[in-house]
Amino acid sequence: MPRSNDDLITNGTSGEVDLGSDGESDYEFEDLSPQASRVVPDQGSETHDATDKLPDDSAYAEVRAAVSPEDDLSLSVNTPRMWTLSLLFAVVGSATNMFFSLRYPSVSITPVVALLLVHPLGLLWDGVFKRADDPKETFVNGTLWSPQDIPHSSGWVRLRRWLGQGRWSEKEHCLVYIASNVAFGFAFATDVSVFAVHA
């Protein structure tokens, strides 16, 4: 039995149609939700998902020029250099912001400061702890996989090589920035102690 347009209720995400109490529908609607996969015909008789052959790349030329769509798993990530610089900037940056937040006018340091300052520190770290004759290191998923010890090496040489794992890379730079971005915010719980003192 045909019904008016007022009785038609559609669900835009699932494509379901409800025509009222009888629950019967003679209409079919295409699912236009973002989750729906579009199937395009190939030259042959098989059909493939259109997203299978699309690279994981940005639609903007400026982003494609700066960021590679492929992940380099051989870069060092989980290194003492990254952890030391991340903790250093997280503690110093948050302590500085906390110190200046109790003054008027308050001064705040943004994570961009850490982004700019940590790069020369990472390069300096490499210059201090890396040597040209160090054996080659292999990193798998950012972690040192096959450390090669120098026979009869002293404790200082082993410590230097452990501190100088890998090379300063954009991944370590990004992780230090993420740690700074998380820690540079203000601790709102300290406002309770400030109000309690001045109350």
Q: How many angstroms from the chain centroid is the CA of residue 163?
A: 24
Q: Which range among 58-62, 112-116, 118-122, 177-181 shows the weakest confidence by mean pLDDT?
A: 58-62
**Angle 168-114-85 (CA atoms, 0-180°, nearest 5)?**
50
Half-sphere exposure (Cβ direction) of 198: Cα atoms closer than 13 Å: 6
Average pLDDT, the chain: 74
The domain limits of the chain are: 5-54, 80-198
The pLDDT value recorded for residue 144 is 81
Distance CA 138, CA 69 (A): 22
Distance CA 135, CA 132 (A): 9
Q: What is the pTM of this model?
A: 0.62
Kindly state the tokens that stand for 42.
């190939």
pLDDT per position as a tens digit, 5-42: 444 444 444 444 445 555 555 545 455 454 444 444 44
pLDDT tens column, 89-116: 999 998 888 888 877 787 888 889 999 9
